[in-house]
Structure 1
Amino acid sequence: MAHLSDSSFPITELPGVIEQLGELFEAAGFELSLVGGPVRDLFLGRVSPDLDFTTNALPDDIIAITRRWCDTYWEMGREFGTIGMRKDGFQIEITTYRSEAYDPESRKPVVAFGDRLEDDLYRRDFTMNAMALRLPQMELVDPYGGVRDLHEGIVRTPGAPSSSFSDDPLRMMRAARFASQLGVTVAPEVFDAMKDMAGRIEIISAERVRDELVKLINGKTPADGVDLLVESGLADYVLPEVAALRLEIDEHHRHKDVYQHSLTVLRQACDLETGPDGAVPAPDFVLRFAALMHDVGKPATRRFEGTGAVSFLHHDVVGAKLTAKRMKALRFDNDTIKAVSRLVELHMRFYGYGDAGWSDSAVRRYVTDAGPLLQRLHRLTRSDVTTRNRRKAERLAFAYDDLEARIEKLAEQEELAAIRPDLDGSQIMDLLGIRPGPVVGRAYRFLLEERMENGPGAPGEAEAKLREWWQQQPESASAPAQERPESGSATEGMS
């Protein structure tokens, strides 16, 4: 048995709560070990705020030992042998040694308690997570070579990969997530098992798949994790729109395919994220996922022109719909779905600016349509430039620099982030002497269009334009002058 200090890795100093727990369980006559990810993280030079322990004590014993020590505890995982608690800012889970068996057609394990630490470690997903620190002796238990594999940057399973993935198919996605988070590669036998068993991911709930996907996308090198999903065939089930991009030739013929282009855009988007106090703090899932999905509309819109060129007309709009559909299937929340799909829809809006230039009204529309996503749209648009033609890249960068400068200049003159007509719904009804109804909405949209085209008007200008517009409406001839009622639904959202 090795002592933790014998490792060649630099070991982070252990929090006091770990030693305290070890002494409590030893005094009560039970074994206790820090296990899994927290042990792995010690070798990576970091301490997680979430600490996992395993023990030969049963749940009732765990509660009896810790209830006076911890700040609070909960029993939601009792049926799986897990008692959760919080102490000094750490979230702690202590689980009785387990020996799990899975029904091949079920998403949930059948749990049986065990009595040996080594058996508990064998059931874990990967060797780098199958290490334990026996407490309070600080002895490293590593029966399956986790330190070796962590040092070599290789993902292996304690037993046969096929058995591990059959027990819990989500472990295949977790391997891809580790490729993203830790920069590791999977062993050949692990990759082969992923390819052979990719279809088993379908028995996993959409919510669990979504959670792993978010962790992957938010990792250090998400393009590596995505590539593993695609190459193993897992993406055919969880992100088929991305897998389909491998078949599409980029219209500029500058990349192997649209798939490789999309991975490049994802990498470049990550590079444009900011620090914690910046406009788009890293990691930003919305920006990253939009970068990955921005061209998924191309397979459905590909057309071969008579000149030999390839076109993807309206792939932005089609891609936005496909993105929203996929995210709904993965049970993302509505706000995240709307944000990502909106970025996909807007990612082509900039092109043409450098050639023809935009009027002030076009710049206002760009800002208004992007809304709170503007800073992400800036980064997505810049990331989408992957051409190897240096002159073209410089021209596009210069054009976008110019656009951002114009946005900043206009923002100094106008409140671009919240452009509204110069008259609200109540003022429209007062001026025209009409009641709430569809006509008010039409008048509001007319004034909004005028505001977009011409910017803020002089006092009285909006009233004159509205009266002129009203005279051209069929309702004006038959509408008697009426006092506006005190309330009405037509003004909602217009003030």
Structure 2
Amino acid sequence: MNNFKLEGQEKKILDLLQNVVQDKSPNTTIRVAGGYIRDKLLGLQSHDIDIAVDNMSGTQFANLVLDWMKENGIKTHRKVATVEANTEANKNLESAILPIFGVEVDFAQLRKETYNSESRNPCIEVGVTASEDARRRDLTINALFYNIHTGVIEDYVGGLDDLENRIARTPIAPLRTFLEDPLRILRLIRFAARLDLEVDKNVIYAAKDSDVQAALQRKISRERFWTEFSKFMSHPNFPCAVRLMNKMGLRELLLTPTEGQLDCLVTRQEKYTKKKWVKGFGDWDADQKNKYHNLNIWNHTLEALDFLSNIEGEHDVMITSIALLFHDIGKCDPCSTQMHSDGRQSFKEHELSSFIMTHKILTDLKAPNDVRDRVVKLVRNHMRLHQLPTRSKTGLRRIIRDVGADDWASFVALVKSDSMGKKGMELDPKYDYFSEYASEYLNSLDGRSEVKPPVNGYEVMELLKISPGRAVGIIMDSLKEQLIIDPDMTKEEAVTFVKSCRV
């Protein structure tokens, strides 16, 4: 694990930086920092190099590098890009970005951070040692340095052992780490899922601490949470991230609507005219008590996510995984729950409650509107394929129209995963039949979600001698619905149909 071999482009870059130090600032020590070392030791590709400078700002050193490159005839197509500190208190901390041989290199000064209880933006102290800098970082495996001058990996917090054993641990006490910056919990989840790390039990205990949970709500904006959440839900190991969110106390905190959010909440969307009130929130861990499920709501969701993670195809991983995470959240709505005399339990129209709750949660998280709308569309429709008779091509074409061609692959992946979210389940062959027919149908539509009407609105007005208005739209909608039933309708048949419509 201590083997850190430099070669090719990276060796050229680090040799250049060492020459800059020798010629321009011989008292300076520079180190490669953080994720670059971690990824290289794990045999992973890393695209950026972060350089830590001991005795000047990142901008000052980057300008020395630029001057040296010009003096030695090495072309660069950009000036130094300075990233200024985000607060007046930290105005002396400037970092910089400079491309060297086509690789983005970041320069920053070693620093120490102190926090107050109300903000995750620290006050910065420079002129510190590499050991002090290592202790401010989020994970031990991200706190490694490679000293360019000695050729040695410097490990001040046990990062090499943790990397060897695939353990996620904080450099200092996790309670202090998370109280200072609760966003580190989300970053830790992302790295643990991405690198398949086991999270140290003390880290889990600290994340669930009530003071930490309060700090997370107080210090982290919903937009910032969305940024991290969307990253780990886009990674193939998203089931690990979801499990860790639950273990670390984030399920109820961030993925569960509060009473205030649900109070008097009502929704309607386009063609769905039914209104439904969500009366409260039950329990993610509630037993489902019916023949379709042998797991509780949460464990069924996890089982489904595991199945989804193994599906290869053209589905959008982030959209599908988020939709699957929330597809049954509506079963936690007491209005959806129905108890039967034989002890069975059913969840009437739970997909509508799921749609309402998911829309609210993603809106609250400031998810982009297009992402939110695509997710809730899948959630709202997910039961329709389950309930569709095996050979109902008309019903399938109607679902394709409502889901849309662009999200069809994601929809099928979600529905298959949902059906497999049960111990000992085998996939119903009808889903393969639906997938095959849908593929043929969509290929015939050339990117559309429904058959293009053989006549347009202008022709409808001419045929019926009517003016532009609501009647034209109603007739065109009727024609489109008829095309769902008879997709091979000719223009002559369409004209006959239009003429039969009452104005």
Tell me the TM-score normalized by structure 2. Answer: 0.84
Bigger shift: residues 374-383 or 317-326:
317-326
In structure 2, what is the equivalent of residue 48 of structure 1? 46
Partner of 1:285: 318
Q: Specify whether residues 412 and 107 from structure 1 end up closer, same or farther in structure 2 by C-alpha distance, changes over 3 A only.
A: closer
Q: Is the 8 A contact 2:295 2:422 kept in 1?
A: no
Counterparts of 2:30 and 2:385 in 1: how far apart (Å)? 59
CA contact (8 A) 1:230 1:243 kept: no
Query: Comparing 302-311 with 413-422, which one deviates more in the overlay?
Result: 413-422
| Correspondence for 2:247 | 231
- Whether 1:122 aligns to 2:135 is yes
* Distance (Å, rounded) in 1 between the aligned partners of 2:328 and 2:38: 37
Letter in 1 for 2:301: S
Match of 2:270 in 1: none
Pairing 1:439-458 to 2, within 5 Å after superposition: 439-458=471-490
Instruction: Decide which moves more: 456-465 or 373-382.
Output: 456-465
Rate the CA distance shift 1:114–1:324 in 2: closer, same or farther, 3 A.
Answer: farther
Measure how far apart 1:198 and its partner are: 2.3
Per the TM alignment, residue 280 of structure 1 is displaced from its structure 2 partner at its CA by: 3.1
Tell me how far apart the structure 1 counterparts of residues 100 and 145 of structure 2 sit (CA, whole Å): 21
Distance 1:418 1:23 in 2: 64
Equivalent in the alignment of 1:487? none
2 CA distance for matches of 1:225 and 1:97?
31
Correspondence for 1:146: 159
- Please tell me whether the aligned partners of residues 31 and 53 of structure 2 are also in contact (alpha carbons under 8 angstroms): yes
Counterpart Cα distance in 2 of 1:243 and 1:20: 61
Identity %: 25
Distance of 1:71 and 1:45 partners within structure 2 = 30
Matches within 5 A, 1:257-268: 257-268=296-307
Cα displacement (A) at 1:132: 0.4
- CA deviation map 1:169-188 (0-9, x unaligned): 11111222222111112212
Q: After superposition, give the CA deviation of every residue in 1:64-118 in whole Å (9 maximum; x if it has no partner).
A: 2123445423113354431122233422221111111112101322222233111
Q: Report the secondary structure of 1:307's partner residue.
A: coil
Q: Answer whether contact 2:2 2:153 (CA < 8 A) is retained.
A: no
Measured against aligned partners, the alpha-carbon deviations of 1:250-307 in whole angstroms (never above 9, x if no partner) come to 6347444111111111121121133xxxx237xx211121122211111112221223
After TM superposition, give the deviation of residue 469 of structure 1 in Å.
0.9
Secondary structure of the 1:417 match is coil
SS at match of 1:52: strand
Contact 1:387-1:393 within 8 A present in 2 as well: no
Partner Cα separation in structure 1 for residue 136 and residue 488 of structure 2: 67
Q: How many Å separate the matches in 2 of 1:243 and 1:173?
A: 25
Q: What is the Cα deviation at residue 146 of structure 1? A: 0.2
Match of 1:67 in 2: 66
Instruction: Output the CA distance in 1 between the equivalents of 2:285 and 2:15.
Output: 51
- In structure 1, C-alpha distance between the alignment counterparts of 2:292 and 2:397, rounded to whole Å: 33
- In the superposition, the TM-score normalised over structure 1's length comes to 0.85
Number of the residue aligned with 1:199: 214
1:280 touches 1:375 (CA, 8 Å); kept in 2?
A: yes
SS in structure 2 of the partner of residue 23 of structure 1:
helix
Shift of 1:455: 1.8
Cα distance, 1:59 vs structure 2: 4.0
Q: Return the alpha-carbon distance in structure 1 between the equivalents of residues 179 and 453 of structure 2.
A: 60
CA separation in 2, counterparts of 1:158 and 1:47? 24
Which residue in the other structure is 2:261 paired with?
none
**Matched residues in 1 for 2:300 and 2:177: separation?**
34
How many residues in Structure 1 have an aligned counterpart in Structure 2?
454
Question: In 2 relative to 1, CA 333–10 (structure 1 residues): closer, same or farther, beyond 3 Å?
Answer: same
Write the mapping of 1:389-400 to structure 2, written as runs, cut at 5 A: 393-394=426-427, 396=428, 398-400=429-431
Q: Residue 19 of structure 1: CA displacement? A: 3.2
Structure 2 Cα separation of the partners of residues 192 and 412 of structure 1: 52
Secondary structure of residue in 2 paired with 1:150? helix
Q: Is the 8 A contact 1:124 1:158 kept in 2?
A: yes
> Does the 8 A contact of 1:180 with 1:221 survive in 2?
yes
Q: Aligned partners of 2:493 and 2:165: how far apart in 1?
A: 72
Partner Cα separation in structure 1 for residue 32 and residue 164 of structure 2:
20
User: For residues 444 and 12 of structure 1, what CA distance do their matches in structure 2 show?
Assistant: 66
Q: Is the CA contact 1:361–1:452 (under 8 Å) kept in the aligned structure 2?
A: yes
Between 233-242 and 126-135, report the one with greater CA deviation.
233-242
**One-letter code aligned to 1:400:** Y
**Is 1:297 paired with 2:326?**
no
The DSSP-based 3-state class of the residue aligned with 2:184 is helix
- Gap change, CA 1:232 and 1:411, over 3 Å in 2: closer
Query: What is the rounded CA distance, in whole Å, between the counterparts of 1:368 and 1:165 in structure 2?
Result: 47
Deviation readout 1:116-159 (Å, 9 max, x if unpaired): 11111111111111110011332111011100011111112111
For 1:204 and 1:310, the matched residues in 2 are separated by: 38
* Structure 1: gaps of 5 or more residues: 1-6, 474-495
The one-letter code matched in structure 2 to 1:200 is A
